[in-house]
Structure 1
Amino acid sequence: MTNKKTKILLIYTGGTIGMVKDYDTGALKAFNFKKLQKNIPELNQLDCDIDNISFDAPIDSSNMNVEDWVVIAEIIESNYQRYDGFVVLHGSDTMSYTASALSFMLENLGKPVVFTGSQLPIGDLRTDAKENLITSIQIAALQENNKPVIQEVCLYFEYKLYRANRTTKINAEHFEAFASMNYPSLAESGVHLKVNREALYRGKKGKSFKVHKQMDRNVAILKIFPGIGQPLLNSVLNTPNLKALVLETYGAGNAPMEDWFKKELGGAIKNGIFVVNVTQCSGGSVLMGQYETSEHLRKLDLINGKDITTEAAIAKMMYLLGNNISPKLFKTIFETSLRGEMQ
């Protein structure tokens, strides 16, 4: 690693990591990021300059929306040339959705965008916030031959760095809140910070950085279950202005074989609605045609989500629809890995 002093921009959107406990009252109050290095002196050991910017009104991640994704993208866009890396502080509940969306919105990214947060407030006695924050900044500042080691949108939590669009929140209480079931971690923090270089994403060389801000929200997610009825499926597929559906199926992409199920899906696809088949399992991949219960979906020409997460699938749908991809090319492009989100 070189000794070049890097510049990192910290972007605070909201969430637990930005709260600190008032020990006199027990109440939580906003952390003063303007005094970041004074309050967390360990950061002074990092050979980088850290600036910060916050949402005008920080929000709980449960209130995160498409417009907020655009704000994050615009902050990175307007500061892209000034900084070597970005750390986005975000509430954990929807972090995988936001981080997945940003991976598609930031095309030809050549610098690290590291999402992190915490399960406990930064001032709590047993907080995970300090380690997550310090290591995320360290990762964002990693340089080799004056180039960033990480050049993609990722997510750091509890000693592991993941590709953002491969993550899912798996636990609401444990510090190990996220997992990447279908792709190895990009780095692990222990006594030493070990980077898994073979797993890192590298975009096409020579392509200029581009930010996409049009995300079409006319999408839906439906998780099938034993006993699902025709009225429910019909209602979802007939949602006004619906353009795409992420269908969470069983196992390797299996679904009921009733005639009404085939009829509803087939009719929707003929009417121009894109339906992508993703597994509702935590890990594994869709393999349409492996079983009889998925062969009928293959014949209906559902989009194969392969091993993509639901979070990445919905974000990718919004991104492709927002870019007005030709209906004839939509299936092919969705089934192609754009940012390392699927095999």
Structure 2
Amino acid sequence: MDKKKILTVFSGGTICTRVRNGVMDTDKSASSALIDFYKKSSSFCKDEVSFKEGESFHILSENMSIRNWNRLISYFAKNIEEFKNYDGIIVAHGTDTLAYSTALFSLLLKGFQVPVIFVSSNFPIMNEDGSPNEQANGSDNFKAAVECIYSGLASGLYATYKNPKDGKMYLHKGAHLIQCAIYDDNFYSKDPVDITDFKGELLKGLWQEKKDGKDNMLILRFKDTCLKGGILKINPYPGIDYSLYKLDGVRAVFHGTYHSGTSPVIINQKDKEYDQSSVLYLIDKCAEMDIPFYYSPSLTGEGFSVYASVPYIENHIVNGNNPVILYGDTDELVYAKLLIKYSLDI
């Protein structure tokens, strides 16, 4: 039987770093070590897969800017036909912006008939002397990605990650992944699959998408253009002053929420007045400058409801401009959708 062919792309991040004199930085040797360590692992399919090392970008993920995203997008867009010849693609990426990148590429590569799995690490996978770092989960995450591809994981965009908190390995849909909390090395999503005790049959029928036979991936539209910024993302906090936000050059505003799907409305019920501490003030500013305003409050549907502040926002129509309320997606996915929308004018 022919070996499964896997392309590895090294965007950077901790998983592609090496410690030298107490400083972590991206290093080509760490990228190659990821494959070398896998070949020496206990993986049940290590003799049944072959690797091709693709591009290395050496980007620490805290530096993942629109410009650096465009480098990755251009690489995929220009080589997408070749990439169809692989059984799977593994992208090594840092943890700081992992959920943003998986959200973005889950949209750009929707319809691509090859599974793409993002992997990362909580610590550098190599010690200073080049030996494996036993604290790091990066090699385990890479091993899990290879085994998923070998076992026939359906096409789609995923992340494999072993949470230090419970020691379990999870397979996440890239579109559902959320950023881990500060000083925390655990990732979560709404529908993770525990693949700790991996068996190939776990993947049978998992997340199968209907194929329409059309080659209409959004990534193809970025062969001749690029991702553009201009999306202002705001999260609420006590004492927020919306008058401090200058909207010159802003193409759209995306307002996040507290965990309960709320933001400060702070309205005087008697005369319906509000000041710059109310999100309604920002909505007014957006309407005056003809800037679309998006708000992502919470899940809805059976068993869910919203707080009273949400209808105030939803019904606050100024000069015919009304806020767009987006339910059910992660903030990371909404932000990615807006970047694509206003880059392609769709």
Specify if TM > 0.5.
Answer: yes
Equivalent position of 1:104 in the other structure: 107
Tell me if structure 2 keeps the 8 A contact 1:186–1:199. no
- Tell me how far 1:269 sits from its aligned partner: 3.5
Mapped to 2, the partners of 1:88 and 1:265 lie a distance apart of 39
Question: Aligned pair 1:313/2:334, yes or no?
Answer: yes
Structure 1 runs not aligned, ≥5 long: 144-148, 326-343
Helix, strand or coil at the partner of 1:264: helix
Partner residue in 2 for 1:246 = 254
Give the alignment of 1:251-290 within 5 angstroms.
251-258=260-267, 259-260=274-275, 261=278, 262-269=280-287, 271-279=289-297, 284-285=298-299, 290=306
TM-score, normalized by length of structure 1?
0.78
Cα–Cα, structure 1 residues 33 and 265, in superposed 2: closer, same or farther, change >3 Å?
Answer: closer
Once the two structures are superposed, residues 5-25 of structure 1 have per-residue CA deviations (whole angstroms, 9 ceiling, x without a partner) of 321101011112123457xx7
Of residues 7, 10, 25 in structure 2, which corresponds to 1:9?
Answer: 7
1:56-115 deviation line (CA, Å, top 9, x unaligned): x50211111223223323333413233121100011001111111111222422111111
Paired letter, 2:8: L
Q: Which whole-Å deviations, capped at 9, do the CAs of 1:114-150 have from their partners, x for residues lacking one?
A: 111101111213221211111112223332xxxxx32
TM-score (normalizing by structure 2): 0.77
In the TM superposition, 1:1-343 aligns within 5 A as 5-20=3-18, 30=27, 31-34=29-32, 37-40=35-38, 41-42=40-41, 45-55=46-56, 57-77=57-77, 78=79, 79-123=82-126, 124-143=133-152, 149-158=153-162, 159-171=169-181, 173=183, 175=185, 177-180=186-189, 183-186=190-193, 188-192=195-199, 195=202, 200=207, 202=209, 204-208=211-215, 210=217, 211=219, 212-213=221-222, 214-232=226-244, 235=245, 238-250=246-258, 251-258=260-267, 259-260=274-275, 261=278, 262-269=280-287, 271-279=289-297, 284-285=298-299, 290-300=306-316, 301-325=322-346
SS in 2 for 1:139: helix
C-alpha distance in 2 between matches for 1:126 and 1:65:
29
Write the letter of the residue equivalent to 2:134: L
* Equivalent-residue separation in structure 1 for 2:204 and 2:324 (angstroms): 31
Q: Give the letter for the 1:139 counterpart.
A: C
Kept in 1: contact 2:15–2:124 (CA 8 A): yes
- How many residues end up aligned between the 2 structures? 304
Distance between the aligned counterparts of 1:62 and 1:273, measured in 2? Answer: 28
AA aligned opposite 1:155: A
Identity of aligned residues (%): 17
Is the contact made by 2:233 and 2:253 (CA closer than 8 Å) also made in structure 1? yes
User: Cα 1:38–1:224, aligned 2, differ >3 Å: closer, same or farther?
Assistant: closer
* More strand per residue: 1
* Structure 2 runs not aligned, ≥5 long: 127-132, 163-168, 268-273, 317-321
